[in-house]
Each structure stands twice: as C-alpha cells, then as structure tokens.
Chain A
Amino acid sequence: MFPRIVYESFRHQARRKLLAGVAITLGVAVATAMIAVATDIGDKINRELRSYGANLIVTPQEDTLDVEVGGVNLKPPSDGAFLNEADLPKIRGTFWHNNIVGFSPMLQVTAKLGSGPDAKDVTLVGTYFNKPLHFGKQDFATGVRITHPWWKVTCGDGRLARSGRVEDSPAACGWPNDDSQDILVGERLAAKLVKKPGDTLDVANRQLTISGILSTGAAEDEDIVAPLAVAQQILGKPGAVRRVYVSALTKPQDAFATQDPNTMTPEVRDRWYCSPYVQSIAFQLQEVIPYSHAEQIRQVAQNEGTVLSRINGLMLLVTLAALLASALAVSAAMATAIFERRVEVGLMKALGAGNLTVSAIFFAEALLLALVGGVAGFSAGALLARQIGRSIFNSQISIEPVLFPVVLAIAVFVTFAGSAAAIRRAVKFDPVFALRGEG
C-alpha cells in the first residue's frame, strides 16, 4: 500500500512534483558547480600565476658575484662557473616533475656587433625558445615561451608574430628555431640599429638572421636573444649554462616549509620532501643538477601564496553563499509543495492513518525527489563547471568522484530539512478543517 500511495502521488501530481524536482535539480546543479570550481580554483589560479614567470633559479654553486648594472653584465664572460646543459633534462626526473611547468637556461655573452673599428659591444643571451628535449621515455618541449610569457615577438611594425615556426613561411617573422642560427633583437636595440626581421646582423663575426623583434619591457630590450648553442659557440664553451629559470607550481608556504631539512627526523623530512613547497622543489633541483645552487625568486614565490589564499578564501565564501541560496530554494520549493496538500493529509488521517505513516509517506516522496533531483543536478552541475573551466581557464575543471555521494547526501538532507517543518504542520492540522477546506 505504502509504495502505491507514493507512486500514485507522483503519477497524479506530475506537474507539482516536476516543479519541486526542477528546484532541487537547479539547486544541486549550482551547488555542484560552485563546489567543483572552488576546489579547483587554487590549481587554476596557481597556473595563471605562472605568467609572473619563473619562481626558482638554479645557479652554479661556486659562482662568482654577478656584476650587473641595468641589465649590462660587467663581469668577464668566461669568468665564474657554469652548469652543464646535459644535466638540464634531469629536472624532469625530480619527485615533483609534474609540477614543473617549464625551465629555460640562460647564457649571457658579450659579443662584438659589426666588424672593424666601429664595432661595439652588445649583450647576447643564449636560451631555449621551445626546445624539444627528452628525459627517459618522456618527450617535452620547454623554453622562454613557457617560462617568460610576457616576452612578445613582433615584426617590428607592430604586427604580432605568427605563432607558427619561421620555416613554415620564410617571409614571416616569428620565434627562431632552437637549432637554427636565427636571433631575436630587442626592440630598443633594433630601433637603434634600424634593423627589421629578415636582415642579417654581424655578431662576433657570424652572420645571424633576425627572425623577429623582441619586446619584454626589461633589460632584454637592449639585447640580442639567440638559441643557446649560438651563445655557447661565441663563448667557446659548448654545453655551458650560466643559470636556469624554473617555473614550478608550488604550495603556499607555511611554517613547516621554511624548516631546515637537515635538522628533521627522517619521517618529517619525507613529509617535507613530498610537499610541493618552493623550498623542497629547490632542494630537489639541487639534488639532480650537480654542483648547483637552487633558490626561490622571492619576488614571485613569496607573493604567490598571498594572492592564492585571498582568491581561495573569496571563492570559499562565495561557494558558501551559493550553498545557502540553493538550500533555501530547495526548502522553499518543498515547503510549498507539501503545504498545498493539507486536504490529502486530512483525508488520510480521517481514514485512520497515524501521524507517523503520513510523515513517512511525505519523507519517502521527498527522498525520491531528492535522489532524482540530486543525480540530475549533479550531472548538470558537472557540465556547468566544465563550461566555466573551458570558457574562463581554457582547461578542464575536474570533478572529484567523491563529490557525488557528498552532493547527494546534502541534497537529501536539505530536502528533508526543508520539508520537515511543512510536514509537521500538515500532520498537526485538524482533518476536519482541512476537509472543510479552511485554513
């Protein structure tokens, strides 16, 4: 009898049930989408913060002091120690290699521009643009295009470079190939020299083709940027790298992060090692690159945590507001649906049904509605979250499967809570008044 009453109620009041179901579905959808966005926003913003550039720098351990003013290096170029280029792919072998977004080596050399008596000194920076590398079985590409996203290559006349490689269409300007002899010229230097892409430059007695004009808003605007191999040839030190910029996704640092790993007990040290703090990633970089010293770039690394926690906190509060609003919407819909059925309650009670039976029928209906609405709402919310992720962050917002039972439980709880007061009032209502149509 009990299932039949519930079934008939759904069959005969399809429209009302549909309304309550829609309210639950929408409420659950909004809640799911907001929870998914809020749990994923930290990771997404962390990735966006990488547009500030590298947060770690690796230098040779025994390096001499940098003597650099306004981006001009005054130190003799062959002075000091170097890292070995061959060690760099090992960065992909560290424990947190999945957190390492990219790295780019730098080698600054001072080269003669032009020949004869009017030759002048210019700084040439050798680096990776988007160099294909492999470590073990993984193939990957890395370079300044990943670690220095604010570097822009133009054609010198304001047009932005095509994203494709130069060789696709030789007439166009763009990023040089890493195994070519093509170079980028900083926009200030290019303006001084009156050079444009396609021209050749005589740098240290080599004829190098300009493939694009580089704009960075910093010291590189006065420099020449070339593939690493070109800089190594000019310096006469194959495989030499002065420093490596590493861009890594890190966890905001806390008191634990700043402890010295050498004073930790083995278990604590393991926990520290296995947390993606900027300090532990620096420690691991030092392990894989021989004779190196890795350090956080504090300007980038220190501020990340604050910005991240602010945005995280904000989204958490907004999610709470969304949960509150959808809970209220669901309860309101349920309360309305039940209040309209006082006559039915009166009839049931007149026929001898107890308060418990009547409540049980209503709760069973609410449970059914909550489950159906919860499942539909969860799917709709997942789609919504995906849409938000794709349109805002150009990447997928992943929905944790564990969220499903949680959301379903919340849906059932909220539906029950919303119905409870209305059910109690409906049950307490005198059947005589209800049947007479009063109240």
Chain B
Amino acid sequence: MSTTGTLHSPKQVADRRARAPHTSMFARMLLRAAVLRRRRAAAALLAMIVAAAVATAMMNLYVDVQAKLRTEFRNYGANVVIVGKYGQSLAADALTKVDSASGPGGKALAVPFSYAVARTKDGQSVVVVGTDFTRARQLNHWWKVSHWPDEPNQALIGMRAATLVSPNRQPFELTFQGKAIELAPAGMLQTGAGEDSRVYLDQSEFQKWTGVSPSTIEVAVSGTTAEVETSIRQLAQLLPPADVRPVRQIMEAEANVLNKTRATLYASATLVVLTSALCVLATLMGWVFDRRRDFAIMKALGASERLVNGFFAAEAAAMGAVGAILGFFIGIGVAVWIGRANFHAPVVPRFGVFPYVLAGSVAVALISAILPITMLRRVQPAIILRGE
C-alpha cells in the first residue's frame, strides 16, 4: 500500500493496479481490518494463543508424563526376576546374555544374586549373598547403607545380622562347608525386609570362597506393560534353563497407579482444553459481532453472501492458524518447564501434537466467526448501519 502512495504518474498507478493480483482487495481488507482495530485483534489473537498454548502443554504432558512416571516407578526396583529352575544356579554367561539382550546402556538393569548359608564362629546360621554392589546400588534406591564396601574382603551387613556376626563392628569369620573367610564390616544395610538378616559380599569374592554362582538375576525393565512382557519373552528364549517371571507386586501396583493418574490427567486436560476453547469462542464472537457495521457496509455495497462469509471465515482461519503456531511453541515451552520443575527431567517436545492443535484452533475460530454471522444475516444492513 505504501508503494501506491509513492508513485506519481496516474498512468503508473493505473498500471500498477492493473498488474496487481486479483485477490489483493480481499487480502487488503483482511490486513486493514487487523491493523485498524489492532487492540481488539490483539485481544482476540492473545486469547487464541493462550488457548493453543494451554492445549499444547496439556497434550504434551499427557503423552509424556506416563513415560516420566514409569521412570519414577523403576525406583521400586526389579519388575522381572530370573531364577534357575528347581533352585539351580544359572549358567555362567547368564548375566552377559541378559546385558546383551537389553543392549549397551539399554533399558534394563540386571543385578545378579547368589546365596549360601554360612556359619558364624559360634555355630549360628546366616545367609550370605554375593552380588555386584555397583549394580545393586543403582537398582535398589531404597537400601539405606551407611557405607558401601570399596575394598576387598569388606562386607555389607544387614541390621539384624550385625547383632549376630559383628555386634561391635569388629572383623568376623564365617565358614561355608569347612572353608573359612575373614571379613571386615564396611557398612550397615537397612531395608525392613529379608535383606536385614543377611551379609552381602562382592560376587567374585563370594564365588572364590563358596564356589556358588548366581542363582537369581533381578532385572528392572523400563517401558510400558507390553514392552516389559516382550522383554520377558525375549529373556525366556535367551535363557531356556531358567524361569523368567514378572514381579506381580510391582507390575500390577504400577499399572494401577499409572492408570488412575492417566485417567485423572485425561479428565483435567479435557476440561482445560474445553475451557480454553470457550475463551476463544467468547472473544472471537465478540470481535466478529463488533464489526457488524463492516458487515453491513459490505452488504450495502453489493458484496455477495459468499464473499462476506468467506471474508469473515478467512479472517477467523488466519487468526486461528497464527494463534495455533505461536501458542504451540509457547505451550511446548510450558510443558518443558513443567517437566523440569516437577520431574527434574526435560519433557520431549511432541511435534505430532501440532496438527491437532492447528486443526482445533482453526475449527474453534471458524465456529466463533460463523455463529455471529448467521445471526447478523437475518438483519437488514440498514438497521445495523442506523446503529440499532
């Protein structure tokens, strides 16, 4: 438009106008309407953006939160346990196989355990367990350990076992099938369960002493129920002489809590998205209704019903699309922030949500434009122009 103003010769102006695309009047009307009433337009656009942002954030969270919560649930420990059939030890390469199945740095964490009943100096029985301390520490976050063993011949002693084998935290001796071993207590272990009555040793030292290899591997597999079941089938194929069982206590409780949370989140997200749509509806309807004089003038100047409807529809669609794009990015930002603030882990932006947000925004915008137009259509332009 500024270019038309700078041209001097009428001929040039006429040329320029003749060469201009046919739709330019339509586009210009759209543009002028937004520029002239920028405050109202900005308010409507703002409502659009906020609604799209809230909807995007909610959809993103709904998809992502389940994965986030699943990671939290892995703090409950192993959900799959592999044991030798009929109480036998597992094959020597079982752990390597489990590790390879889950891939390097993969989704599963496997911890081996081997058990033996040893005797103290005064003839009392105590269960001694060989394990990999680094892995056990990662798997069992709830173990309360005063100090993890870091030197050879150090043992982790359960709270209740300690009163028996080493009441004053002095070094002690254990015998297994006539073979004695001298151990120093590194720290105390407290769990409130069976572990409290046991003595934990490093797997290699344990095997050197007793010759017993791991009989149990506890595995924490992350993922959905279906993914965990696939892993169980894979592991069972890989280790035919072993029993691979899901830990029902952990799996069922997790599914239960997760389902309830998801359902609540779904209900809340629906409410929030509906409310945002309502907000857009109210604002946009006001914005269109407010311009009934434009509508009346267009009709009075001879614009066809189709052109007028098209004009308002195009305006609404443009506003919906712009709002959706801006709102989408703001919404992604909000979702990422919530993920950081609540779960201390970033939420992965789901760009797959975008088409839904875009379609929803444009649809709501069109509805809010068409409703007032159909109401106005019944009114004579003259009455509107008279200000009644």
Contact = CB atoms under 8 A, between A and B. Distances in A.
Given A44-B260, A303-B76, A318-B269, A343 B387 contact: yes
Given A45-B260, A218-B248, A317-B338, A303 B142 contact: yes
A335 B284 CA distance: 12
A149 B276 CA distance: 40
A306 interface: yes
Interface in A279-317: 295-303, 306-307, 310-311, 313-315, 317
A150 B83 CA distance: 20
B263 interface: yes
B384 to A, nearest CB: 9
B166 interface: no
A299 B50 CA distance: 42
B164 A65 contact: yes
Given A70-B215, A328-B279, A52 B249 contact: yes
Contacts of B82: none
A322 B271 contact: yes
B72 A34 contact: no
A66 B216 contact: no
Contact of A314 (B61, B190, B272): B61
Contacts of B68: 310
Among B43, B252, B263, B286, max chain A CB count under 10 A is at B286
Contact of B127 (A48, A67, A148, A216): A67
A75 B125 contact: yes
Nearest to A47: B260
Contacts of A384: 271
Interface in B63-91: 65, 68-69, 72-73, 75-77, 83, 87
A185 interface: no
B167 to A, nearest CB: 13
Nearest to B248: A217
Interface string B263-301: 111011101101110110011011001100100000000
B126 interface: yes
A384 to B, nearest CB: 8
Nearest to B274: A30
Nearest to A334: B282
Contacts of B275: 26-27, 30, 322, 325-326, 329
B349 interface: no
Contacts of B272: 30, 34, 318, 321-322, 325
A393 B194 contact: no
Interface in A355-391: 384, 388, 391
Interface stretch (B7-15, B51-59, B302-310, B313-321): B51-59
B257 A48 contact: yes
B197 A57 contact: no
Given A310-B69, A325-B50, A67 B117 contact: yes
Contact of A299 (B191, B274, B338, B343): B191
B47 A307 contact: no
Nearest to B386: A437
A218 B257 contact: no
Nearest to A151: B248
A53 interface: yes
Chain A contact residues: helix, strand, loop or mixed: helix
A369 B40 CA distance: 24
Contacts of B83: 70
A340 interface: yes
Interface residues of A, number: 76
A297 B193 CA distance: 6
Contacts of B260: 44-45, 48, 392-393
A49 B125 contact: no
Contacts of B241: none
Q: Please tell me the size bucket of the interface on B.
A: 35 or more
B148 interface: no
Contacts of B252: 51, 149-150
Given A49-B257, A307-B69, A217 B265 contact: no
Interface string B119-137: 0000011110000000000
Nearest to B37: A439
Given A30-B272, A30-B275, A437 B387 contact: yes
A65 B65 CA distance: 43
Among B69, B192, B278, B385, max chain A CB count under 10 A is at B192
B204 to A, nearest CB: 20
Contacts of B269: 318
Contact of A332 (B73, B250, B282, B386): B282
B142 A68 contact: no
A332 B42 CA distance: 13
B261 interface: yes
B144 A318 contact: no
Interface string A317-357: 11101101110110011011001100100000000000000
Contacts of B230: none
A246 B272 CA distance: 39
Contacts of B194: 66, 68
Nearest to A51: B253
Interface of B: 43, 47, 50-51, 54, 57-58, 61, 65, 68-69, 72-73, 75-77, 83, 87, 115, 117, 124-127, 140-144, 160-161, 164, 190-194, 197, 215-216, 245-253, 256-257, 260-261, 263-265, 267-269, 271-272, 274-276, 278-279, 282-283, 285-286, 289-290, 293, 334, 338, 341-343, 385-387
17 contacts: A19-B282, A30-B272, A33-B271, A34-B271, A34-B272, A51-B257, A57-B193, A69-B127, A70-B216, A150-B248, A218-B249, A298-B142, A302-B141, A303-B75, A307-B72, A314-B261, A322-B275
Q: Which 5 A-B pairs have the closest CB atoms?
A: A437-B387, A336-B286, A217-B248, A329-B279, A298-B142
